[in-house]
Amino acid sequence: MATTGTDWLSTGEAARRLGVTVRTLYRFIDEGQLPAFKMGRVIRLRGADVDSFIEAARIQPGTLEHLYPDARAGGDDG
């Protein structure tokens, strides 16, 4: 039997790789953010797709300023 060399992950393995719960992983799949495949009664994900999802989620520098207060803007200097 020939193998395709695809690194298949179970939902549990993919969730652990992403550091999220399986429920969150299902949401990513259902929202179309992460491709998955139903094989019989099980759902499998390609390792390369999970890795691509991780790379796409990379935060660009300078995009999180809204999450922390800027002491220079309207701050009390003393």
Alpha-carbon gap, residue 65 to 57, rounded angstroms: 17
Query: What gap in Å lies between CA 72 and CA 49, rounded to an integer?
Result: 41
Bigger pLDDT: 10 vs 70: 10
pLDDT attached to residue 69: 74
At 4-43, the pLDDT tens digits run: 688 999 999 999 999 999 999 999 999 999 999 999 999 9
Query: Could you give the number of structural domains in the chain?
Result: 1
- Residue-level pLDDT at 21: 98
The HSE-up count of residue 33 (CA atoms within 13 Å, CB side) is 12
- For residue 35, what is the domain's CATH number? 1.10.1660.10
Residues 6+ apart with CB under 8 A from 12: 22
Residue 72 lies in a domain: no
**Domain assignment of residue 21, given as a range:** 8-58
* Residue 77 confidence (pLDDT): 52
Burial of 22 (0-12, 13-18, 19+ CB in 10 A): middle
**pTM assigned to the model:** 0.75
